[in-house]
Amino acid sequence: MKTLSIIGSTGSVGTQAVDLALHKGWDVAALACGHNIETAEQQIRALRPRYCAVMDEDAARTLRGRVADVGCAVEGGQEAVLRAASFEESDMVLNAATGIAGLRPTLAALNSCKALALANKESMVCAGNVVTSLAREKNVPILPVDSEHSAIFQCLRAGEKGEVDRLILTASGGPFFGWDRERLETVTAADALRHPTWTMGQKITIDSATMMNKGFEVLEASWLFGVPTERIDVVVHRESIVHSAVKFVDGSIIAQMGSADMRLPIQVAVDHPHRTENPFKTLDIFSLSGLSFYRPDREAFPCLTLCESARGNTGAVINGANEVAVAAFLQGRIGFNDIYRIAREAVETCDLIADPDLEQVFDSDRKAREAARAFLARKGV
């Protein structure tokens, strides 16, 4: 049995991982979260980890007092989070942190030679060259947790790497499938948070609505599987049953199907290379009435094309600007289509760096956020 560290344990993916760990009896040695100590306390009492890191140091002090009877060491700050990601007793790290904040824990896990179950797509979007290079250097596997990348990971077992023609990423189409650009100008945050098939955190739900998330997933897939973005297709699949597919050179398409439940890709990553019983409800194929597939509307959802054309540090630039833009949209300060406008302007403003190092990645992120805030200032919001 593997011993786990779960980074981002109180978020959407993290809480599902904890739920799965309780059902499967996994040994969780370390947890890390941002500031949600109510959920963290429940997790500590249920899982009995040896260590818990809280990014917010004041919250860490409060949590330390609350769980003094449990025997779990609690520390606060970024160094504590990195300690959880490299915790000596753990042999696998599940990184479910949100945003570029998950990059340093990814690197800490790899530097400590821990197998990495990666749900933090920003690690690859912003610094795919750095992350994959380090994984090769340390000979550490990166096991994808995103449902689409987990699906591709599973489908690739049907052939050799040189036999792959194209990767096919499926997208739900979000709540605004069929809407044109003009109609999207009227979208509110409440509208965008109504995802048709998946239950996720607010940030990723908005990214799904703009199709920025799918663009990020194209970049992530390119780095994870060594396939250029030109050979990665995006198809809108409203039912969210086919999670992605691989087309091989002989014309065969191997697809992975399953329920819209993140616990399955989490389990696939943690239990790899084995298959084990899933304790939750699985897909009943006889319940399906049909499967539909459509080309994405790139005019209505230009974030997808913006990401597909990203090179070098552009992924970090788009991500940084997008994080600022989505926060502003959720606050009602900007419109839905402004998210793309802000990201595009940041790309046009920031210099391209073909092969950025880690410092340049974080500098690109900083400059992109500055460009995004300048856009907001011009709008008077």
pLDDT tens profile 328-368: 999 999 999 999 999 999 999 999 999 999 999 999 999 99
d(CA 381, CA 378): 8
How confident is the model at residue 201, as a pLDDT?
A: 81
**Angle, alpha carbons 271-97-133 (nearest 5°):** 70
**Is 344 part of a structural domain of the chain?**
no
For the residues of 88-138, what is the DSSP string, one character each? TT-SEEEE---SGGGHHHHHHHHHTT-EEEE--THHHHHHHHHHHHHHHHH
Does the pLDDT at position 197 exceed 90? no
CB-based contacts of 49, cutoff 8 Å, min separation 6: 28, 29, 30, 31, 43, 72
Whole-number percent of the chain with pLDDT over 90:
95
**Is 257 part of a structural domain of the chain?**
no
Q: What digits encode the pLDDT tens for the residues 285-328?
A: 999 999 999 999 999 999 999 999 999 999 999 999 999 999 99
Q: What is the DSSP letter of 352?
A: P
Helices (H), 259-313: 263-271, 303-308
Q: What digits encode the pLDDT tens for the residues 249-270?
A: 999 999 999 999 999 999 999 9
How confident is the model at residue 381, as a pLDDT?
A: 84
**Count: domains in the chain:** 1
Range of the domain at 68: 3-144
Q: Are 47 and 23 in contact (CB under 8 A)?
A: no
**Is 46 part of a structural domain of the chain?**
yes
Does the pLDDT at position 198 exceed 80? no
**Is 115 part of a structural domain of the chain?**
yes
Q: What digits encode the pLDDT tens for the residues 88-134?
A: 999 999 999 999 999 999 999 999 999 999 999 999 999 999 999 99
Tell me the average pLDDT across 181-199: 88
Domain CATH for 18: 3.40.50.720
Q: What digits encode the pLDDT tens for the residues 140-159?
A: 999 999 999 999 999 999 99
**Is 239 part of a structural domain of the chain?**
no
Q: Tokens 């197998």 identify what position? A: 115
**Is 92 part of a structural domain of the chain?**
yes
**Is 291 part of a structural domain of the chain?**
no
Helix or strand run (H / E) with residue 248: strand 242-248
Q: Are 143 and 208 in contact (CB under 8 A)?
A: no
Q: Are 69 and 48 in contact (CB under 8 A)?
A: no
Mean pLDDT of the chain: 96
**Is 98 part of a structural domain of the chain?**
yes
d(CA 17, CA 261): 11
pLDDT band (50, 70, 90) for residue 86: very high
Q: What digits encode the pLDDT tens for the residues 39-54?
A: 999 999 999 999 999 9
**Parallel, antiparallel, or unpaired: how do β-strands 242-248 and 164-171 relate?**
antiparallel
Q: Using alpha carbons, select from 342, 349, 350 the residue that is nearest to residue 312.
A: 350
Q: Are 122 and 145 in contact (CB under 8 A)?
A: no
